[in-house]
Amino acid sequence: MVHRFIQDQFIDHPASVDETYLQHLRFASGTGLTLIRAGLAAICHGLLPRCCESTASTTILNMAVGMRERFPNHPASQPRIGEGQTAS
């Protein structure tokens, strides 16, 4: 049972996104830290509206583009209704 848990957590899941455990750790940690920075920028903006006016939104939009490029077959990477469509 413990062996299965270790196999799933440290080998199978990272392999499912074509990474080693250390590559997965690095990517996930970097993503988390980037989100924390964006969150802190949003809080600063809430307190001081002229501070970090577009930091959080730009960070999140850039992350979304990067995730779609990294995982093009993931369901969340598929366009949503109305996305990318222009008004007629």
Query: In this structure, is residue 84 part of a structural domain?
Result: no
Query: In this structure, is residue 15 part of a structural domain?
Result: yes
Q: Residue 26: its pLDDT value, please?
A: 96
Query: In this structure, is residue 8 part of a structural domain?
Result: yes
Q: Residue 75: its pLDDT value, please?
A: 81
Query: In this structure, is residue 43 part of a structural domain?
Result: yes
Q: For the chain, what's the residue count?
A: 88
Higher pLDDT, 55 or 1: 55
Burial 48-62 (b: 16+ CB within 10 A, else e): eeeebeebbeebeee
Query: In this structure, is residue 28 part of a structural domain?
Result: yes
What's the structural domain count of the chain?
1
- 26: domain range? 2-70
Q: Residue 35: its pLDDT value, please?
A: 97
Q: Residue 74: its pLDDT value, please?
A: 80
Query: In this structure, is residue 60 part of a structural domain?
Result: yes
Higher pLDDT, 7 or 87: 7
Query: What digits encode the pLDDT tens for the residues 31-72?
Result: 999 999 999 999 999 999 999 999 999 999 999 999 889 888
